[in-house]
Amino acid sequence: MITSVNDIRQAFLSFFEERDHEIVPSAPLVPQNDPTLLFINAGMVPFKNVFTGADKRPYDKAVSAQKCVRAGGKHNDLDNVGYTARHHTFFEMLGNFSFGDYFKEQAIINAWTLLTEVFGLPAEKLLVTIFHTDDEAASLWKKIAGLPEERIIRIATADNFWSMGDTGPCGPCSEIFYDHGPQIPGGPPGSPEEDGDRFIEIWNLVFMQFDQQPDGERLSLPKPSIDTGMGLERIATVLQGIHNNYETDLFRALIDASVDVTGRPATGDDLIAHRVIADHLRAASFLISDGVTPSNEGRGYVLRRIMRRAMRYAHGLGAKDPLLTQLVPALVAEMGGAYPDLIRGQSLVQDTLRVEEERFADLLDRGLKLLADETQSLTPGGTLAGETAFKLYDTYGFPLDLTEDALRRAGYGLDQAGFDAAMAAQKARARASWQGSGDASAETVWFDVKADSGATDFIGYVHEEAEGVV
Ligand code: ATP
Ligand code: MG
Ligand code: MG
Ligand code: MG
């Protein structure tokens, strides 16, 4: 019987190893030689050049459990954490890859065999989406899985058509969903209620079969390829007979540690706090052990935002001493076996977290008091003035998303236009007070950076990210 997250990861790797796939260890979260991408956000990213043919490997089939972070750039799930049953900032993507070897039919056979025969999932709980024109996928799902028409849902949007960029490999994809049951709100994919947590996407199969030309024409690839991605935490949830990723054995261990240290049971609003903390602990720890340090720009800024969001929730639990740093041993106990770098980096991770937590504690305290005072005078469901949000950002180092999140939990909105105006006014003031050296363009850039970074902190990540996702 496969039960724990660690067992499920291993079962996936073994299943494909038995089918002649090379087990490739997870790449670090910081992309190697890819400045366009913030963090690795899908299992295929380390194989991008293999798919295009620019890089050759001694194998034509691979399997991996890849560390992923989606907390910035194009794929940002930060704001979902704490609110959906299925999103993390850090997660592991299980993937099998064919570089010109097997294609659509074998990919579907593999996925169906693993899910129904090895993992023992009941076929009637599974449904799939396909790209609306992909009749081949429709007939394969019928033939291989015996799925009826109504559980093969045709989708016309980009959700079911994957491309690496404006040109290059691309193709339709098919997402496999699990029905967690009618007791949970939510509708099937493509329906107006699809945003609930009843039907959860567990696995995405990408059929790379075209080569997109600069003029828009799609040529057929001579050797089509396969790229798949399954969220380990989501399949573990299904296999453990529960309905929320945060109830898996791995997350329970982290949340138990957080409950132990804070003395606050994981119920009601505190449950959300413990979940956010557990999630952000993973993201922050893996980022630090992969070489990211908190800073005011780029990757380090994203790390800082994640840490500060967790710290706000820790503060809400009444934690007086730095909390995250104390939870690292529980994380290492759960994940150090699969990721030995985490064991090697443990003291660095703990030190980095502690320093950041100590540094932010005081500002957080004062900023949250200000926010509480200001929201007190609002009517229920009211909107916080953009000026105030800007002051929190400028004086207390509160990233805007942290303020938004605090407001959202209390049922308030934010005057985004007012915030933008306050930011613009600050930039204008800074410019006006500067006597200047005559190089107007350089100064404009400098002031924008200074204003964006605020008196204490912060420059956002201003970068268009390349697509790097299954
Ligand atoms: P969703 O629609 O649920 O946000 P997605 O379509 O964005 O998922 P993909 O890019 O297809 O996800 O990634 C492949 C798989 O990785 C998904 O099928 C899912 O199992 C998992 N996954 C994606 N995003 C997350 C996340 N933020 N946390 C946990 N697992 C995730
Ligand atoms: Mg998504
Ligand atoms: Mg999806
Ligand atoms: Mg998907």
- Residue-wise pLDDT for 244-279, tens only, equals 999 999 999 999 999 999 999 999 989 999 999 999
User: Is 204 touching ligand 1 by the criterion CB < 6 Å?
Assistant: yes
Which residue's C-alpha comes closest to atom 14 of ligand 1?
229
Residue 397: left (phi > 0), alpha (psi -120 to 50), or beta? Answer: left
Which residues does 176 contact at the CB level (< 8 Å), separation at least 6? Answer: 111, 115, 126, 127, 128, 201, 202, 203, 204, 205
pLDDT number for residue 29: 97
Q: Which of 204, 205, 286, 465 to mutate to test the pocket of ligand 1 (most atoms within 8 A of CB)?
A: 204
User: Is 91 touching ligand 1 by the criterion CB < 6 Å?
Assistant: yes
Q: Which of 29, 66, 91, 306 to mutate to test the pocket of ligand 1 (most atoms within 8 A of CB)?
A: 91
Determine the length of the chain: 470
User: Is 468 touching ligand 1 by the criterion CB < 6 Å?
Assistant: no
Q: Is the pLDDT assigned to residue 465 strictly greater than 70? A: no
Which residue's C-alpha comes closest to atom 20 of ligand 1?
231
For residue range 404-455, list pLDDT tens digits in order.
Answer: 888 988 899 999 999 999 999 888 887 776 554 444 443 344 334 333 333 3
Band of residue 218 on the pLDDT scale cut at 50, 70, 90: very high
User: Is 229 touching ligand 1 by the criterion CB < 6 Å?
Assistant: yes
CA 37 to ligand 4 centroid distance, Å: 19
Half-sphere exposure of 314 (CA within 13 A, CB side): 30
User: Is 282 touching ligand 1 by the criterion CB < 6 Å?
Assistant: no
User: Is 414 touching ligand 1 by the criterion CB < 6 Å?
Assistant: no
Helix residue ranges per DSSP H, 433-468:
440-453
> What ipTM is given for this predicted complex?
0.99
CA 231 to ligand 1 centroid distance, Å: 6
User: Is 233 touching ligand 1 by the criterion CB < 6 Å?
Assistant: yes
Residue 449 phi, psi dihedral angles, 5° rounding: -65, -45
Distance CA 80, CA 90 (A): 12
Q: Is the pLDDT assigned to residue 219 strictly greater than 80? A: yes
User: Is 469 touching ligand 1 by the criterion CB < 6 Å?
Assistant: yes
CA distances to 176, 273, 389 from 380, rounded to whole Å, are 41, 22, 18
Distance CA 78, CA 33 (A): 25
User: Is 87 touching ligand 1 by the criterion CB < 6 Å?
Assistant: yes
Distance CA 217, CA 214 (A): 7
Which residue's C-alpha comes closest to atom 5 of ligand 1?
201
User: Is 309 touching ligand 1 by the criterion CB < 6 Å?
Assistant: no
CA 180 to ligand 2 centroid distance, Å: 18
User: Which of 126-130, 151-155, 194-198 has the least mean pLDDT?
Assistant: 194-198
Please report, rounded to a whole number, the percentage of residues in the chain having pLDDT higher than 90: 74
Q: Is the pLDDT assigned to residue 212 strictly greater than 80? A: yes
CA 368 to ligand 4 centroid distance, Å: 37
Give SS3 for 438: coil
For residue range 277-289, list pLDDT tens digits in order.
Answer: 999 999 999 999 9
Half-sphere exposure of 163 (CA within 13 A, CB side): 13
Q: Is the distance from CB of 264 to CB of 313 less than 8 angstroms?
A: no
CA 191 to ligand 2 centroid distance, Å: 17
